[in-house]
Amino acid sequence: MAEIIIDSYRCSGCGTCVEICPEVFHMNSMTEKAELIAAAPLVTDAVWQAAAFCPEKCIEMRE
């Protein structure tokens, strides 16, 4: 199963991933960075789409 990694250093907090896939991503209101809701979510098409549309390209999938 693939693992989803968000590079919070590069995340600009734009919220695109949350808009595309709110089942998996949410914004941390303290840090204003995206985070995973669950530790090991399923990598759905929406997750791939969120990664593709992330303007900072900071969502990575690792096998």
Q: Residue 56, interface with ligand SF4 (CB under 6 A)?
A: yes
Task: Please state the closest distance from residue 33 (CB atom) to ligand SF4, in A.
Answer: 6
Q: Which residues contact 23 (CB under 8 A, 6 or more apart)?
A: 37, 41, 44, 46
Shortest spacing between CB 62 and ligand SF4, in angstroms? 15
Distance CA 56, CA 31 (A): 17
Binding track, positions 4-43, relative to ligand SF4; x by CB under 6 A: --x----xxxxxxx----------------x---------
